[in-house]
Chains A and B, each alone.
Chain A
Amino acid sequence: MTDPAIKPHLTREHVAELLRQMVRIRRFEEKCVELYQREKIRGFLHVYIGEEAIAVGIMQALAPADTVIATYREHGHAIARGVPMTTLMAEMYGKQEGCSRGRGGSMHVFDAKTRFYGGNAIVGGGLPLAVGTALADAMQKRPSVTACFFGEGAAAEGEFHESMNLAALWKLPVLFVCENNLYAMGTALALSESETDIHHKAESYRMPAEVVDGMDVVAVEAAARKAVVAIRAGAGPHFVECRTYRFRGHSMFDSELYRDKAEVERWKPHGPIERFGAWLRQNDILHEAAFQAIETEVAAEVEAAVAFAEAGTWEPVADLTKHVTLEPES
């Protein structure tokens, strides 16, 4: 008998949940884009539209005591991990009711309750941190895993390679998740890597690594479950390269000079929600009413999040220099 942790169990409830989570991310971010245009959200905004299957699939394999570290394109990871949409939206606004008290904004979502350690806006900056959280788990003999998400652009950074080596050398419980969307800002993968199969880089550090279709939420979940079971059993770090595509610009400032509109259009039908939805329909797994119910429920959740953020308050300027250092406990 196989361990139930290893394989996704495709019950009607489970597939509906996978779809629901991806739709939550998609609709939340579509609202964020609109709010950005209305200048409610400022700074840099990087949306995850097209890549939702990765965060949703990976999170299925994680337990509450596990740790998550992501990048500046992390709204999807936060939502899939269970950060409430309300405090997340308040953070996007910069209100003090936000999950990071409004200090971080879109790129710096932090949430201790769900062990969500950011929201890192320095490319590659999260990888060494993940090595460290995993080291702490290992040294304290806890069975926890750190899931670390990053784009393929990070693979060019020294921090990526140093972290791969250290995690493998010390056999640390890290799940490295490379979200390969083919572009780092405007630089295509082929223009930035001599070896474009990113998972081979992990293999060169003697780390088990595999490639999955990052547009297929079930495939991502399956890969994550397999890897996490092995990591918990003490097999050391694992690497999953998820092949995906970013449907929108890098950020709200991107004029997308570096790729064809036609290329983007070609990808769109292969989007994770589009594809999973089509599969569920073709195989009569979910009825139209179930799709509708998800949309209705999510629309209400997004509206409630916006209302929460609108009703939020600005932190007083008198508190400006708070949260810089802590007083030592006496």
Chain B
Amino acid sequence: MNEIAPARIKTTYREAVRAAIRDALTADPKAFLMGEDVGHYGGCYAVSKGLLAEFGPERIRDTPLSESAFVGAGIGAALNGMRPIVEVMTVNFSLLALDQILNNAATLLHMSGGQFNVPLVIRMATGAGRQLAAQHSHSLEGWYAHIPGLKVLAPATIEDARGMLLGALKDPNPVLIFEHVMLYNMEGEIAADAGAVETGKAAIRRPGRDVTLITYGGSLAKAMAAAETLAKERIEAEVIDLRTLRPLDTATIIGSVARTRRAVVVDEGWKTGSLAAEVTATIMEQAFWELDAPVARVCSAEVPIPYPRHLEQAALPQPESIAAAARATLGR
């Protein structure tokens, strides 16, 4: 019997996020987007291009350069019945709003004894790779994943770019979505009717039996490339895309490591105090007796990201360094 293949469309990561915002604003009159240059400029990374004409300035709301105020205003609006999607241009500038995110968004529910929840989504670009130098290349999603009261998502695929925002909008809690700057131009095909995806679960992007590569966001493609290289050496690497950085899907991590007995954690954050450290410690706590080798980490070098391309690339995780770390766990 012939089944009709579901229609698929060509798109990009950028367009997928835009389509998700469009869906969100169409489905819920209380939803709106606000942030710096989301309207007239068309979005710093062109994500919201065209949406101002479609939805008008009330719902595609340009803000002044006031990160603390407009993130705080997003929290207030969420408390009082609206469904804001706040875009902070990049994680680098979210530092000016850190107080609002940590001291208000993450704590209000608890401080109020469960009375006041903050149904807010904050999207921001993250990561290095475009030679933007030290102040514009941070990967601080691991910091945010440290904070109870927040959910932290990192879409690494076009499906997740399309679906995670819609998933996040169903959550009654503050959800942070980190979009890696190197992913916006990524092209691919998705189902024409793609929509919300489940959050909270990691995904096995490539099955394998010899070693588990655990990563997320902008490093997923690098881990996949490393797995490809390793396959040629007859090392079968399993690749886990964490997808949700808080809360971590430890069941998927531990299940995989219990099978492969080896793990390499790949994270663009600096190694010291990183999300990779958290994943590693979790494996130690829950799968120590399953391991055949120490868990390895491939993270960014302990240096602010330098401008020249060769130094920037040397500072970041690369397919070669990931493959080398994986081989080392196998004593090769």
Contact = CB atoms under 8 A, between A and B. Distances in A.
Nearest to A314: B310
Contacts of B92: 122
B135 A121 contact: yes
A157 to B, nearest CB: 5
Interface string B270-306: 0000000000000000000000000000000111101
Interface in B61-97: 62-69, 92-93, 96
A255 interface: yes
Interface string A112-151: 0000000011111100000000000000000000000000
A192 B309 contact: no
Contact of B309 (A42, A185, A321): A42
A102 B307 CA distance: 7
Interface stretch (B110-118, B125-133, B143-151, B160-168): B125-133
Contacts of A324: 302-304
B191 interface: no
A187 B62 contact: yes
Interface stretch (A1-9, A77-85, A103-111, A236-244): A103-111
Interface in B33-49: 36-37, 40-42, 44, 49
A142 B266 CA distance: 51
B65 A156 contact: yes
Interface in B133-174: 133-136
B307 A124 contact: no
Contacts of B93: 122-123
A124 B134 CA distance: 16
Given A192-B65, A317-B311, A42 B302 contact: no
A315 B311 contact: yes
Contacts of B130: 43
B65 A154 contact: yes
Interface size range on A against B: 35 or more
A320 B307 contact: no
A43 B131 CA distance: 5
Given A121-B133, A321-B302, A186 B64 contact: no
A153 B261 CA distance: 53
A305 B303 CA distance: 29
Interface in A31-68: 42-44
A191 interface: yes
Nearest to B49: A257
A188 B40 contact: yes
Given A156-B66, A317-B311, A317-B314, A103 B133 contact: yes
B40 A186 contact: yes
A210 B228 CA distance: 63
A158 B307 contact: no
A158 B302 contact: no
Nearest to B305: A103
Contacts of A94: 131, 307-309, 311
Nearest to B135: A121
Interface in A146-173: 153-154, 156-159
A258 interface: yes
Among B49, B62, B311, the most chain A Cβ lie within 10 Å of the Cβ of B311
A197 interface: no
B222 to A, nearest CB: 18
A75 to B, nearest CB: 14
B308 A315 contact: yes
Q: Which residue of B304, B308, B309 has the most chain A CB atoms within 10 A of its CB atom?
A: B308
Most buried by A among B40, B49, B65, B301: B65
A310 interface: no
A88 B96 CA distance: 30
A107 B37 CA distance: 20
A303 interface: no
B176 interface: no
B315 interface: yes
Contacts of A42: 131, 307, 309
Interface string A271-303: 000000000000000000000000000000000
A133 B91 CA distance: 28
B41 A257 contact: yes
Contacts of A153: 64-65
A314 B312 CA distance: 12
B308 A157 contact: no
A193 interface: yes
Given A108-B133, A122-B92, A185-B41, A320 B311 contact: yes
A122 B137 CA distance: 12
Interface string A6-39: 0000000000000000000000000000000000
A314 B301 CA distance: 18
Given A158-B69, A257-B49, 9 more contacts: A103-B133, A105-B133, A108-B133, A125-B135, A185-B44, A193-B64, A255-B42, A258-B40, A314-B310
